Amino acid sequence: MRYLLEIIASVAALLAGKDSVLTSVQIYPNGTYPGAIDPAAEPGAQFLQTSPPFYPSPWMNGQGEWADAYAQAKDFVSQLTLLEKVNLTTGVGWEGEQCVGQVGSIPRLGFRSLCMQDSPVGVRDTDYNSVFSSGQTVAATFDRNLFYQRGYAMGAEHKAKGVTVQLGPVAGPLGRAPEGGRNWEGFSPDPYLTGVAIAETIKGTQDAGIIACAKHFIGNEQEHFRQVGEAVGYGFNITEAISSNIDDRTMHEIYLWPFADAVRAGVGAIMCSYNQINNSYACQNSKMLNNLLKNELGFQGFVMSDWQAQHTGAASAVAGLDMTMPGDTLFNSGESFWGTNLTLAVLNGTVPEWRIDDMAIRIMAAYFKVGLTLHEPPINFDSWTLDTYGPLHYAVGENTQQINFHVDVQGDHGTLIRDIGARATVLLKNVDNALPLSNPKFVAVVGEDAGPNLDGPNGCSDRGCDNGTLGMAWGSGSANFPYLVTPDSALQAQALADGSRYESILDNYASSQIIALVSQANVTAIVFVNADSGEGYINVDGNEGDRNNLTLWQGGDELIQQVSAHCTNTIVVIHSVGPVIVTNWFDSPNITAILWAGVPGQESGNSITDVLYGKVNPAARTPFTWGATRQDYGTDVIYVPNNGNGAPQDDFVEGPFIDYRAFERQNTTPIYEFGFGLSYTTFEYSNLQVIKHNVSAYAPTTGVTEAAPIFGNFSTNLTDYLFPNASFPYIRQYIYPYLNTTDEKKASADPNYGQTAAEFLPPHATDGTPQPLLAAGGAPGGNPQLWDVLYTVTANITNSGTRDGEEVPQLYVSFGGPNNPSLVLRGFERLSIDAGQSTTFSADIVRRDLSNWDTVAQNWVITSYPKSVYVGPSSRNLPLSQAL
Ligand code: NOJ
């Protein structure tokens, strides 16, 4: 429908003697939009919606900060043979070498293979590494500096293990539905907050000298049905993965937004996701990869597939995929869509030479951009075993040697992790100064979530269980704990130091003992509860990745109600992967304090003790909304296929209205709103000032690219591509770029071999001629004028209490249009303010912050609806405001 509208509009424009609106220059005087078409009133997501084609795949051009890296990559790639280029693009197969994914090496140049390794919380599947807080937890700090420091520290640990690409950070899932199993790996359902957090994390990681990989691109909002095999394993009869159906405006304003920040921050790699977007798989979706990511956002790095998320060979190559992971079609199949097939496809002209060159250039430019050299130290760990000696090619048990060197890469990161854990803890309720604790007479800690996993902190593979305190959730986004400080041990140590009496009961169902304990005189009861989730390949307690509900696990609600029924000073600590329903007990007068501590990583107990005892004055803000009911969110996971055995259809019909935007629109009062969090001191807001800057009008990017460049050349003699001589090691299942015969058809093992590109690739897929630039593009992240500062907003913040503290003033904008969220976050800062002192909060509003995506102009536009700014301590407490 939308495209029909575009066509009608272009025809009308042509008849009126104007340029087509599809290509005309859209500049509105004073930066305003006439409002004839409300860009926000576009049709939303549709069942079985399709994804339009966009070809050819944009070739890298070294724009922005990429110029030097591009030049280095050109030199290097120009020396490579076709086989060597293919090696850079294709993984060697699942468990083929030490890392969770590795591409081939270039032995002729002594260039070792690139190592791709999870996770977004630390180096996965090894030892002597740290476990950091989840992305969602650090998001609660609203602290740019901590985002950066965490990224840097994780990057340094990966680097010291020999990793080339850290598989994180995460902006997909964004957190459309609170039940989404991997929301905790990302930051926040607010795209602005996620955008800031992902950008700072990437800068940190890449400053440490490795490539960051922003994932999962895009619409990867639930675990159910993300992969057919997994779904079938759970008993669902589907033949295609889920399609996230997302309209163009919502795509730009919500889901693509943080990826634009990632690209602008210089991210070297992006992982395409398992799901389909508008019924086209993410790793071969030319609209997403060619149009949005590489053209509009000007992404200069490389796109790698999620593990087994590639479904075609030449088609994915021309749709913008640059690297296939782990390289085999299915784990350990010994076959690849690329490898040999990519070599053949280039030789026979199906995939143009410029495209394989572009893949290689993008990979190597990302490599050089972060300072990696051609002679990096070897990988010193193995993902598949912690044994010191073992098979290098684990999948087939070959080449036994020392594979784990047990290198301790932790440095002093425990201190940072402790600090992040404390400064991410959100104080949701604090009555009559119940907190901070000060030499309490008797501390009674209750709940499994305060104690250890009896099988050890790493007792469940990939943390796939909910035993003991929740320091980390489950899936590939986890890492092995070097230790896990439990709340019980840290609080006991504090109590002993204070001379307090201390007892803990770590069994949620020991009712009589719990009641007997917390009914005693002088008791301060601290109840620990949790809610867990993770990645779809693990099912914990019937939760196939996504949470089945938003209630607390292990009888947490009953536990809280039981304790608070007998103790008038009950403090609740929640470790969770997102919001939980607290409706039945949060306002009990006996519950004097509630804290959300996220999933804080290895220093969990120390972090929470620092907050409970006031060593850290809390200032964190909840990075999501706490609704009274599950239904209040207006979005949910699809748990049952809704399209026969075809791809389940996940229609994002709510458009941009997720999390607090949905609550505002429906006029539903949450229990704790987005951005809310208390302190042990108080703050006052005053003196809002808005300074308008004079900037030139927004001009669309125009012009055309260069023709696709080619680097080096390749032999057309098929004998040059045969597997090398007998002395070259052949490893079973390993994915090579070689042919096993000079008979192309036989080498391809494809009965239909011989079709030409024109017969089965979309129009323009192989066209290397100069291409028009997009109006909204022009630089990494998009049109550079989107970052013109239009306004600077300042306010005075005074610490009016008696304790030194930190405060997170937040700036929101209302767009004024009938189809716009009433408020959207557009600025924040974490400020340290001593008691009695004042400081100035200052935030810049850039053009993008005030723009809507215009689906007809295919560009950002500021509508003429009246706009206002608001400043305050949370999304529903905004004492200062002014019209713009
Ligand atoms: C699948 C996950 O979706 C992705 O996040 C991860 O990086 C890869 N597996 C590799 O473990």
Reported as a single tens digit per residue, the pLDDT across 76-102 is 999 999 999 999 999 999 999 999 999
**Could you give the angle at which helices 191-207 and 257-264 cross, rounded to 10 degrees?**
30
Tell whether 611 is covered by a domain: yes
In the numeric block, the tokens 């125009």 are attached to 702
* CA 307 / ligand 1 centre spacing (Å): 6
Q: Give domain status of residue 278, yes or no.
A: no
Q: Is 488 a catalytic residue?
A: no
CATH at residue 560: 3.40.50.1700
In a domain, 846, yes or no: no
- Atom 9 of ligand 1: nearest residue by CA position: 307
Q: Which atom of ligand 1 is nearest to the CA of 216?
A: 5
**Residue 557 forms part of a structural domain:** yes
Q: Are 2 and 855 spatial neighbours (Cβ–Cβ below 8 Å)?
A: yes
Q: How far is the CA of 438 from the centre of ligand 1 (A)?
A: 45
Count Cβ atoms within 10 A of the Cβ of residue 706 and give its class: 0-12 exposed, 13-18 middle, 19 or more buried. Answer: exposed
Residue 352, both tokens = 């143009």
The answer to whether residue 596 sits within a structural domain is yes
Contacts of 729 (CB under 8 A, 6+ apart): none
CA–CA separation, 784 vs 782, rounded Å?
A: 6
Q: Which residues of the chain have pLDDT under 70?
A: 1-43
Beta strands of 532-676 (E only): which ranges? 570-576, 591-596, 649-651
To the question of pTM greater than 0.85 for the whole model, the response is yes
Give domain status of residue 703, yes or no: no
Ligand 1 centroid–CA 72 distance in Å is: 30
Task: Please state, in angstroms and rounded to a whole number, the distance separating the CA atoms of residues 415 and 419.
Answer: 6
Nearest CA to ligand 1 atom 3: 306
Give the CA dihedral 390, 394, 400, 406, nearest 10 degrees: -40
Give the pLDDT confidence score for residue 7 in this predicted structure: 33
Ligand 1 environment, Cβ below 6 A = 100, 118, 167, 215, 306-307, 476
- Other CB atoms within a 10 A radius of the CB of residue 551 amount to 16
Residue 333 lies in a domain: no
Ligand 1 centroid to residue 639 C-alpha, Å: 21
Distance from Cα 215 to the centre of ligand 1, integer Å:
9
Report pLDDT for 749: 86
Instruction: Identify the three-state secondary structure at position 637.
Output: coil
Pocket test for ligand 1, best of 462, 535, 538 (most atoms within 8 A of CB): 535
pLDDT score at 818: 87
Segments of 338-474 assigned E as strands: 389-393, 398-402, 426-430, 442-446
Beta carbons within 10 angstroms of residue 584's beta carbon: 13
Q: Closest Cα to atom 4, ligand 1: which residue?
A: 306
- Mind listing the pLDDT tens digit for each residue in 512-556? 999 999 999 999 999 999 999 999 999 999 999 999 999 999 999
Q: Which domain holds residue 451?
A: 413-679
For ligand 1, mutation pick of 306, 330, 461 (most atoms within 8 Å of CB): 306
* Cα separation, 867 vs 883, whole angstroms: 6
- Of 306, 358, 449, 854, the active-site residue reads 306
Q: How many domains does the chain have?
A: 1
pLDDT at 759: 84
Contact (CB, 8 A) for 853 and 863: no
Protein residue whose Cα sits closest to atom 1 of ligand 1: 307
- Positions of E strands within 753-862: 789-799, 805-807, 810-814, 824-828, 831-833, 838-846, 852-854, 859-861
Q: Which residue's alpha carbon is nearest to atom 5 within ligand 1?
A: 476
The pLDDT, as a whole number, for residue 757 is 79
| 578 occurs within a structural domain | yes
pLDDT value for 750: 85
